[in-house]
């Protein structure tokens, strides 16, 4: 009778141990193996409602029965894993890795059986086999990346690994690793870093991947060209500070910048300006790109003439003519302020003597200066800084110089007549020199009278000779 009771008790303990093993297998389940390295293995062993032991080694991992409770002895391993697990009463050794879970049976001093659950993975040395990024809808993030929208971009991260047996395993954030994003707001290249969680049994180390954030396309209008003073070029400056940027994110610091060219270099009002390029500045300017085809292409502005000053004008001497007119010489005059390469000359100017009377180095007032040359229209003469005067001589007329000499001689003759006056006869010489007409009026009658007298004398001599011959 006692032998039968002992037999039933042994059967009960065996059934109880078997139930525990099956329950442990069903409750614990099979954990995926998602990490690997060249040779190192990582083993997690635990019992139902008991301790969990994690160990790693290059070749084999050994456990002692006391790791799981006092008085426990290792008894057997399931048939599928005998090639990987060695079991003796006082040790359990895992050799290499395998692709699923194993069970080792243990028994205590009372004959109670315990199911020990063994999970094996491959140690990971920051060498993730594959990392993929997915958008909010779960679709794979395209290589072209995402579009800037003013917010931080955080695509979902999935990782996958292929173990040495060729099996691919998924790995998710918040399960075995943490995810951090850097440079993930502005347009450019963003970085995603995966870092294994401390204490997890699936992976360790870290890795990173990248994705693109593309600039947002906008259109620009309202750019204004600035007027300028003539500088010899067709270059234009434009102001885009108050331009409209259609499509920009509200609150972003962004403004338009532009370069342009006038239709030509010459002075003019409302001249056409072609916008050569449009770009965007500001703190967020780099997050946008301009759609040139749909944006403003032209503007207009004035080119005002540039100031120049003139000097080097001279004047010609002249003979007295009773006027103050002066003839100026602009051949050697110079216009200061003309841009190199421009054709500008001093064409003419008006001059007036300070008075009509003869004199040496008389002051001449200069006015009405005019510029000449192909580029003269691009310059103007301001009132200040121009040459105001020059000098020249007004000579006396030549006959006036001769009359001065006759006056001197008449004066000397008068003085001689006074000193030779005897018997009270006074010869008075005119103090005014005779003109040519006056001399002709005196000499001609005298000549006629002398001729008549000679004829009378000749006739008398002829009559006397005839009487003598009789």
Buried b / exposed e along 317-337 (16+ C-beta atoms within 10 A): ebeeeeebebebebeebbbee
| Partner residues linked to 104 by β-bridges | 77, 116
Residue 66: phi and psi, rounded to 5, are: -65, -15
* Cβ–Cβ < 8 Å for 333, 366: no
Residue 265: phi and psi, rounded to 5, are: -85, -15
* Cβ–Cβ < 8 Å for 449, 464: no
**What are the boundaries of each domain within the chain?**
2-122, 130-214, 217-304, 309-398
22-36, 51-65, 250-264: least confident range: 22-36
Q: Is the pTM of this model over 0.75?
A: no
Mean pLDDT of 303-310: 98
Quote the distance between the C-alpha of residue 177 and its chain's center. 44
Is the predicted pLDDT of residue 57 greater than 80, yes or no?
Answer: no
pLDDT one-digit tens code per residue, 161-214: 655 555 666 667 766 788 999 999 999 999 998 887 776 656 667 778 899 999
Intra-chain end-to-end CA distance of the chain, in Å: 243
CA dist., res. 312 & res. 366, Å (int): 11
Q: What is the chain's length?
A: 470
In the chain, % of residues over pLDDT 90: 46
């Amino acid at each position: 009778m006692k032998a039968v009771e002992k037999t039933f008790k042994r059967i009960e303990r065996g059934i109880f141990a078997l139930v525990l093993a099956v329950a442990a297998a069903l409750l614990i389940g099979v954990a995926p193996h998602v990490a690997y390295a060249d040779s190192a293995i990582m083993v997690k062993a635990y019992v139902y409602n008991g301790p969990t032991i994690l160990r790693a080694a290059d070749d084999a991992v050994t456990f002692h029965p006391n790791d799981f409770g006092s008085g426990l002895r290792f008894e057997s391993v399931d048939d599928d894993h005998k090639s990987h697990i060695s079991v003796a009463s006082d040790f359990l050794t895992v050799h290499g890795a395998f692709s699923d879970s194993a069970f080792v049976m243990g028994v205590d001093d009372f004959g109670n059986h315990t199911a020990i659950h063994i999970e094996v993975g491959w140690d990971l040395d920051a060498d993730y086999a594959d990392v993929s990024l997915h958008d909010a809808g779960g679709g794979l993030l395209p290589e072209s990346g995402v579009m800037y929208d003013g917010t931080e971009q955080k695509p979902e991260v999935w990782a996958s690994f292929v173990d040495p047996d060729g099996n691919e395993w998924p790995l998710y954030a918040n399960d075995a690793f943490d995810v951090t994003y850097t440079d993930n707001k502005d347009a450019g290249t963003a970085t995603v870093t995966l870092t294994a969680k401390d204490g997890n049994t699936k992976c360790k180390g870290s890795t990173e991947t990248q994705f693109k954030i593309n600039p947002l396309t906008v259109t620009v209008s309202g750019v204004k060209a600035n007027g300028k003073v003539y500088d010899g070029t067709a270059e234009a400056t434009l102001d885009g500070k108050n331009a409209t940027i259609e499509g920009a994110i509200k609150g972003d610091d962004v403004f338009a910048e532009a370069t342009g060219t006038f239709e030509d270099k010459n002075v003019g009002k409302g001249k056409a300006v072609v916008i050569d390029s449009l770009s965007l500045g500001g703190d967020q300017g780099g997050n946008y790109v301009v759609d040139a085809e749909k944006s403003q292409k032209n503007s207009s502005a004035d080119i005002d003439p540039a100031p120049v000053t003139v000097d080097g004008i001279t004047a010609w001497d002249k003979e007295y003519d009773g006027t103050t007119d002066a003839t100026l010489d602009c051949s050697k005059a110079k216009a200061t302020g003309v841009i190199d390469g421009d054709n500008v000359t001093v064409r003419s100017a008006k001059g007036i003597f300070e008075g009509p009377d003869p004199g040496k180095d008389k002051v001449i007032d200069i006015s009405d200066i005019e510029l000449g040359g192909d580029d003269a229209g691009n310059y103007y003469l301001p009132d200040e800084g121009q040459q105001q005067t020059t000098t020249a001589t007004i000579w006396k007329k030549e006959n006036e110089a001769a009359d001065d000499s006759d006056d001197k001689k008449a004066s000397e003759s008068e003085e001689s007549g006074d000193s030779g006056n005897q018997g009270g006869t006074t010869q008075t010489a005119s103090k005014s020199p005779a003109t040519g007409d006056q001399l002709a009026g005196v000499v001609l009658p005298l000549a006629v009278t002398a001729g008549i007298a000679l004829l009378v004398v000749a006739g008398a001599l002829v009559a006397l000779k005839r009487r003598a011959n009789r």
